[in-house]
Structure 1
Amino acid sequence: MDDMDVYMQFGRKVAAARKSKGMTQADLAKRVAFTRASVANIETGRQRVMLHDVFAIVAALGGQSILDFVPERIAPESMRDVAFVGDGASKEDELAMLQIIELATTGARS
């Protein structure tokens, strides 16, 4: 799975959840303080999403867990790029986040 596959799969799940709730892209955008164009780009996988924004989107869609919206497995070599693209995190923060991501993506799901 390449990096963009992660965003495409996330976007498809966001779009499906939004439609199932009867929401428009504009409705979702208003709830998470994005533009409608940003929501459209997220849903098509063209826009990368920061982790705190993933939580906001999932909450706005009434999701129980972000794990319901992200791919089940992420190739280990992709994890660093997905988590830390240009965020300036310290090495300690990067290590902590990698451990969280690894647990979330390799653990059993219910």
Structure 2
Amino acid sequence: MSISLSSHVLDTTLGKPAANMQLELTTFDGTTITGITDADGRCNQWQGFEFEAGEYCLRFYTKDYLLAHHKDAFYPFVDVHFELTKNGGHYHVPLLISPFGFSSYRGS
């Protein structure tokens, strides 16, 4: 079974997806892959990277998005650290954001 990863960013203040947000994935071996959320706030394109078990960090660059939509941003970025396991299947890392708060969880 292969491992795959996706993310979805939702703006809880506006009640809509956060489009065009920059993301950066740091892999277990230190490789850095950049991405951007689409019009629906989703990102699942990782430049052909083959995921393996290990620890990863997904950085969401929230500042530019929040300033553009809310004129305020307490968090310039949000890092979500997580671990993928062997034969883990699909992993989904959602981020819920507002100018002064965020939360994340393992989605489906």
- The answer, yes or no, to whether TM exceeds 0.5 is no
- Give the TM-score range, shorter chain: under 0.3
TM-score normalised to the size of structure 2? 0.27
Q: TM-score, normalised by structure 1?
A: 0.26
Structure with greater proportional strand content: 2
